[in-house]
Amino acid sequence: MAYQHAVAIGLGVTEYEPNSKAAGEIIELWNALREFTNV
């Protein structure tokens, strides 16, 4: 629910609930993309 609540008020989930499972998943996704693209 953290993602839905964050989007509803115009925030990213890492801003809304930085220690939530949803935030952890977004961070993992970002890290995987960064590694894949060598950014």
- Could you read off the pLDDT of 14-37 as tens digits, one per residue? 999 999 999 999 999 999 999 999
- State which H helix or E strand residue 3 sits in: helix 2-8
Q: Which residue's entry shows tokens 């950014």?
A: 39
Dihedral Cα 9, 7, 4, 24, nearest 10 deg: -120
For residue 38, name the pLDDT band (cuts at 50, 70, 90): confident
Predicted confidence (pLDDT) at residue 8 exceeds the cutoff of 90: yes
Residue 12's pLDDT is: 96
- What is the residue extent of each domain of the chain? 2-37
Measured distance CA(21)–CA(10) in Å, rounded: 19
Q: Which residue's entry shows tokens 């949803």?
A: 22
